[in-house]
């Protein structure tokens, strides 16, 4: 049986003060590993760089995936990105180089609309794979409110980046 997707791209999230994965990152890792084990994704692309630690989110995801039994040759690390926009920009060439076109995007449900929008605007036809919701419900609601504001900012940031690097928005601007 063929996998539903060539790859599951797991987006990073904050590490704890000690450098270990925080709750959001653990949920995302668990979801990606489950997709791999179920045969729904043939590989995992772990995306997340350094924010406040000398360890990257992607290296911590790799460590956790290996501990969960995912073979090393099924893991690819993108460890430069610091936000969702950079996740899309830095994953895109990796996906293209490997010929991975069937992509599942793993992140929290509240983050999926912005993440899917960003990846799709950069030519990655990703499908959603939501991680389990955070508990308690108040945390999920707070994250959802934050995400509404972040999405509004990303509408502008993504189009600005597309203009700078070329593409549809850049072509319109040069006419």
Could you give the maximum distance between any two Cα atoms of the chain, in Å? 53
Using 70 as the pLDDT threshold, list the residues of the chain that sit under it: 1-2, 134-141, 143, 167-175
Domain range for 104 is 5-135
Whether residue 165 lies inside any domain: the answer is no
CATH of the domain at 64: 3.40.50.620
Whether residue 173 lies inside any domain: the answer is no
The structural domain count of the chain equals: 1
Whether residue 63 lies inside any domain: the answer is yes
Whether residue 109 lies inside any domain: the answer is yes
Task: State pLDDT tens for residues 125-172.
Answer: 999 999 987 666 566 667 677 777 788 788 888 888 888 887 554 443
> Of 6, 32, 3, 11, which Cα lies nearest the Cα of 101?
6
């Amino acid at each position: 049986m063929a996998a539903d997707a060539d790859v599951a791209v797991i987006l990073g999230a904050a590490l704890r003060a000690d450098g270990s994965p925080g709750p959001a990152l653990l949920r995302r890792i668990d979801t990606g590993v489950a997709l791999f084990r179920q045969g729904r994704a043939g590989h995992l692309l772990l995306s997340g760089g350094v924010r406040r630690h000398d360890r990257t989110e992607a290296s911590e995801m790799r460590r956790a995936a290996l501990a969960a039994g995912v073979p090393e040759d099924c893991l690819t690390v993108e460890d430069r990105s610091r936000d969702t926009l950079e996740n899309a920009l830095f994953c895109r060439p990796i996906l293209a180089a490997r010929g991975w076109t069937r992509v599942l995007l793993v992140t929290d449900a509240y983050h999926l609309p912005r993440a899917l929008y960003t990846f799709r605007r950069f030519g990655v036809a990703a499908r959603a794979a939501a991680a389990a919701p955070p508990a308690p419900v108040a945390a999920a609601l707070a994250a959802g409110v934050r995400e509404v504001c972040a999405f509004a900012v990303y509408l502008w940031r993504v189009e600005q980046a597309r203009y700078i690097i070329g593409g549809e928005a850049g072509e319109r601007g040069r006419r």
